Chain A
């Protein structure tokens, strides 16, 4: 399946690790889909399943994104640099409800609420891990 260019969502992208053999990520496992690896361009989506939705509850922050399941692909584009990475959904996340209203900005424009979690491989393709968050547009 190829990544597309139809606008799907916008918000903050954060990062997480999965499948690592080191660090506090060592216990993270391979995610809800059983395929997640930090070294691959993968992502976690808050509406991966009904059970996932009950954990992430993005609707409590006004984010009612559609369901997309394991293996779905998305293009994630940095709001300002335009750098883009194509990711495959492999886990449930982020915990949107815990950070309602949080914003990340660049060039004076902000994106609000955590709407996608990227693996380190995917996140570093469009930004720096030490920033922790990026403002992004998401396409499919």
Chain B
């Protein structure tokens, strides 16, 4: 699909709308000129193809406070980011979700546009997302026991969410072909409370 949509007779790309929304505040945000957005497609939209006059920005870190639609994020290397969410922001936390699912203590990666006041107007935010190379050490009905490097991990199987891909095949909800000792890539959402992962997708290798 196209990520630009007609608005008031002129073409309005997603990033231009995003920055306009962030600058204009709640009134503009609340009256989304874009209407419904395809969240998965929006996540996949590459930022570099958009308006070069608006610098792209990226942030990584852990949320230390939230204030309305602004996330206060402490970066892993001492930096600080203020991330603005708008109606045009796509949010992932195990699945596509809304800002209400974001909590203090969560980790995130955010992509967006750098605003003149130093904040980042977020185009997409991935909350607690991890993508780790693991070895399967144990299999239970509702979880996989994993090792990642020298670290032991629990990967929770989430009903109606967790899928598997065997040797590059199509995604399936059937995890019955997982085997102890298999190497795998697990994409999921980290749980800050206990360090476990809710599995979105496990790709089984050779």
Q: Which residues of A contact B (CB under 8 A)?
A: 14-17, 19-25, 27-28, 37-39, 78, 81-85, 94-95, 97-103, 120-121, 124-132
Contact = CB atoms under 8 A, between A and B. Distances in A.
Given A39-B60, A84-B48, A129-B92, A120 B109 contact: yes
By DSSP majority rule, is chain B's interface helix, strand, loop, or mixed? strand
Q: Size band of the B side of the interface?
A: 35 or more
B48 A38 contact: no
B76 A22 contact: yes
A78 B46 contact: yes
A138 to B, nearest CB: 16
Contacts of A20: 60, 76, 107
Contact of B92 (A15, A24, A130): A130
B44 interface: yes
Nearest to B192: A22
Given A22-B62, A94-B133, A129-B43, 11 more contacts: A22-B61, A22-B76, A23-B128, A24-B151, A25-B132, A37-B77, A102-B205, A120-B126, A121-B58, A125-B58, A129-B129
Nearest to B106: A22
B122 to A, nearest CB: 11
13 contacts: A15-B131, A23-B128, A23-B130, A24-B195, A38-B76, A39-B58, A83-B46, A94-B133, A102-B167, A102-B168, A120-B126, A125-B48, A129-B131
